[in-house]
Amino acid sequence: MIEARNLDKKYGNDTHAVRSISFTLDKKITSIIGQNGAGKTTLLRILSTQLLPTSGTASINGYDIIKDAARIREIAVSIPQESRPIYWFSPTILIMLYLGARGMGLRESRRAADKAIKKVGLWDSRDKMAAELSGGMKRKIFVAMALASDADIIFLDEPTTGLDPLSRIQIWSAIRSMKGQVIITTHYMEEAQALSDDVLMMNKGRVLSQGSVKELLKPFEGMVRVESKMRRRRSHKVGDTWISYVKKGKAESFVMEGDIIKSITLDDLFIKEGVNLES
Amino acid sequence: MNHNYIVMYIYASLKSISVNWMYIVSNLMFPVSLMIVVGILSQGKLLPFALVGGLISITAMSGVNSIAYLASLRFDFLYRDLVVTTKTTKMDYMFAHLLGEFVWVVPSIAFYFILDVIYGLLTPYTFLMTLLLACMVSISSYSIAFWITSRIKHTRNAWPIGTVLSLLLITVSPTFYPYTYLPKYILDILTILPTTPAVVLAQGIFGLTPSLPIQWYMLPILFVETAAYLLIAVYTTQWVEK
Ligand SMILES: Nc1ncnc2c1ncn2[C@@H]1O[C@H](COP(=O)(O)OP(=O)(O)O)[C@@H](O)[C@H]1O
Ligand SMILES: [Mg+2]
């Protein structure tokens, strides 16, 4: 379980990346969603003891992120967003190195690495140089590190960004098979919908709302999204498109006028909050 | 202390020999070519100096040149970020990578020892003392690299800084000629570079320069300097970011 109280982070004097946020995460898989710059990475780096908060506190399974950082490092795994494999090492060596860093011995880590490599589908490439692998395979090395660590808490920062649909599904299934509590960040709404029991929506360093996908979408029950080139009643402008929400039954008439009808996704929560998704 | 990481990193280093052999060659190239130049210019007279100094140069170069490598681990691969959130401390990280680099120096050290034997310079005493000096120079130059890496903002700076430092350590210190050529006050200033106390001592031990008391001051100086560089590197490196 993760609890944050008034967690705040300023970079220098200008950038206020995380603005005094409080939340509790206790579901199996939580997605933190938000656009680029929302503060997801900063939050994850603070929770995983990589970065000190400017103020506020947080705890992970009861351990304080500052006072008990050493304990947290034993129970938690954190895979940074932009980590890339050192390209002259093989997946096996890279995973073993990581497990070694976590304190595992040579033989034990070889066994754990092999197991995780099979699970993420890298077996045939396990001894190749990482340089020779595709983007998706490189990313899988890091997911395998998290799998092999068998940790209680797993932080994955945008584990599937930029990957093809197939690799994403493979990574999702690896994430679902993790035993510990997983916290991923993403800006793909369908990823949050496919994976998580709990969603934390962030915007500009703040939490917009939190809940299961179903709970979050409750206000939209029975509605559809209408995308129009013209201004509609109670519509929001996103780029050159006006977006409004209407009852399913009413949608018909809009289609006649040439509007586009879409089913509701988590995107709509942001749009409704006035967050311009394109900015 | 997480010795598992240290063992694992050395293992990984050894495993990647097929990609890294060129690194050994390039590391050896510089002192060997300087040795040839110095040897020719002095008509062979300074060759033993270049032999003794070459070995020390190699360890120093390998140390400071790892700035580029450490920087790319930090900025390009974000590998350091990955390790920070494990039980590996910055001390473990530093030692693992120091030893991982040292693995690549061992063949060059062996090469120099063979030359020493051919030249009739090696005795059990000079062998052991040279190893001790090589270890200390390795630790101090690597500590300098570690410290600098924690202070630069991107990889682009790392290569030139590494080159400047290795030239300083190798050619400004009296590595390839008798330290007695230098005025005393210049030698005193150069003592700040760990290669200086190491070569002064080595030249004395190998009997290349007359045995003077100064050479024995250099041993404690080298010890203190190595410890100081190490402590600076460990204590001033920001590991968890603010
Ligand atoms: N190391 C840093 N120094 C200064 N500003 C930063 C740093 N890291 C992130 N930021 C800024 O903090 C804000 C939040 O960034 P980040 O946490 O990376 O967001 P996200 O992961 O949601 O895209 C952004 O405005 C970003 O520019
Ligand atoms: Mg991010």
The string of pLDDT tens digits covering residues B167-225 is 999 999 999 999 999 999 999 999 999 999 999 999 999 999 998 888 889 999 999 99
Ligand 1 binding pocket includes A39 (Cβ within 6 Å): yes
Can you tell me the mean pLDDT for B116-140?
Answer: 94
Atom of ligand 1 nearest to the CA of A38: 22
Q: Identify the pLDDT of residue B115.
A: 94
Pocket test for ligand 1, best of A13, A42, A279 (most atoms within 8 A of CB): A42
CA angle B72, B93, A50 (to 5 degrees): 75
Q: How far is the CA of A81 from the centre of ligand 1 (A)?
A: 12
Q: How many CB atoms lie within 10 A of CB B178?
A: 17
Q: Tokens at residue B103, please?
A: 């693995």
DSSP code, position B76: I
Q: Using CA atoms, how far apart are residues B198 and B215, in angstroms rounded to an integer?
A: 9
pLDDT beyond 80 at B19: no
Residue A86 to residue B77, Cβ atoms within 8 A? yes
List all residues 6 or more positions away from A59 whose beta carbon is below 8 Å from its beta carbon: A2, A3, A65
Domains in chain A: boundaries: 2-211, 217-273
Residues of B in contact with A104 (CB under 8 A): 4
Indicate the pLDDT class of residue B164, thresholds 50, 70 and 90: very high
ipTM: 0.88
The string of pLDDT tens digits covering residues B209-229 is 998 888 889 999 999 999 999
Closest ligand (CA of A161): 2
The string of pLDDT tens digits covering residues B53-71 is 999 999 999 999 899 999 9
Query: According to DSSP H, which parts of chain A are helical?
Result: 40-47, 69-75, 91-101, 106-120, 135-149, 165-176, 189-195, 213-217, 251-256, 267-272
Q: Identify the pLDDT of residue A42.
A: 96
Residue with tokens 């290569």: B159
Q: Using CA atoms, how far apart are residues A133 and A126, in angstroms rounded to an integer?
A: 10
Ligand 1 binding pocket includes A41 (Cβ within 6 Å): yes
Q: How many CB atoms lie within 10 A of CB B228?
A: 13
Fold entry, domain A2-211:
Rossmann fold (3.40.50)
Pocket test for ligand 1, best of A10, A11, A204 (most atoms within 8 A of CB): A11
A117 touches A123 (CB < 8 A) = yes
Question: What pairs with residue A153 in β-bridges?
Answer: A76, A181
A102 touches B87 (CB < 8 A) = yes
Q: Is A139 on the interface with B (CB under 8 A)?
A: no
Element at A29 (helix H, strand E): strand A29-33
B60 touches B27 (CB < 8 A) = no
Q: Using CA atoms, how far apart are residues A183 and A199, in angstroms rounded to an integer?
A: 10
Please report how the helices B47-71 and B124-149 are oriented relative to each other, as an axis angle in degrees rounded to 10: 30
Residue B52 within any structural domain of the chain: yes
Q: How many domains does chain B have?
A: 1
Q: Tokens at residue B151, please?
A: 């202070």
Q: Identify the pLDDT of residue A276.
A: 55
Please report how the helices B3-15 and B90-118 are oriented relative to each other, as an axis angle in degrees rounded to 10: 50
Q: Is B142 helix (H, G, I), strand (E, B) or coil?
A: helix
Q: Identify the pLDDT of residue A197.
A: 93
Q: Using CA atoms, how far apart are residues A148 and A91, in angstroms rounded to an integer?
A: 12
Q: Which of B2, B78, B85 sits opposite A103 (nearest CB)?
A: B2
Q: Using CA atoms, how far apart are residues B210 and B203, in angstroms rounded to an integer?
A: 9
Residue B208 within any structural domain of the chain: yes
Which protein residue's CA is at the shortest distance from atom 12 of ligand 1?
A17
pLDDT beyond 60 at B74: yes
In tens digits, what is the pLDDT along chain A, a chain of 279 residues? 999 999 999 998 889 999 999 999 999 999 999 988 999 999 999 999 999 999 999 999 999 999 999 999 999 999 998 899 999 999 999 999 999 999 999 999 999 999 999 999 899 999 999 999 998 899 999 999 999 999 999 999 999 988 888 889 989 999 999 999 999 999 888 899 899 999 999 999 999 999 998 898 888 888 899 898 888 878 888 888 888 888 888 888 888 888 888 888 888 888 877 665 543
Residue with tokens 């202070």: B151
pLDDT beyond 60 at B145: yes
pLDDT beyond 50 at B144: yes
Residue of B242 and A179 predicted with greater confidence: A179
Residue B241 within any structural domain of the chain: no
Ligand 1 binding pocket includes A9 (Cβ within 6 Å): no
Q: Is A48 on the interface with B (CB under 8 A)?
A: yes
B237 touches B74 (CB < 8 A) = no
Element at A247 (helix H, strand E): strand A241-247
A188 touches A159 (CB < 8 A) = no
Can you tell me the mean pLDDT for B78-98?
Answer: 93
CA angle A21, A24, A26 (to 5 degrees): 150
Residue with tokens 């031990």: B205
Average pLDDT for chain B:
92
Q: Identify the pLDDT of residue B114.
A: 96
Q: Please tell me the pTM assigned to this model.
A: 0.89
Q: Identify the pLDDT of residue A275.
A: 63
Strand A223-228 to strand A241-247: parallel, antiparallel, or no bridges (unpaired)?
antiparallel
Tell which of B86, B101, B242 to mutate to test the A interface (max A CBs under 10 Å). Answer: B86
B153 touches B80 (CB < 8 A) = no
Residue B242 within any structural domain of the chain: no
Element at A24 (helix H, strand E): strand A15-25
Q: Is A104 on the interface with B (CB under 8 A)?
A: yes
Q: How many CB atoms lie within 10 A of CB A225?
A: 21
Residue ranges making up the domain that contains B9:
3-236
Q: Identify the pLDDT of residue B240.
A: 84
Residue B21 within any structural domain of the chain: yes
Residue B211 within any structural domain of the chain: yes
Let me know how long chain A is.
279
Strand A63-64 to strand A198-203: parallel, antiparallel, or no bridges (unpaired)?
unpaired
Q: How many CB atoms lie within 10 A of CB A76?
A: 26
Q: Measuring CA to CA, which residue among B21, B57, B173, B124 is closest to residue B116?
A: B124
Residue B86 to residue A98, Cβ atoms within 8 A? yes
**Chain A nearest CA to B22, separation (Å):** 13
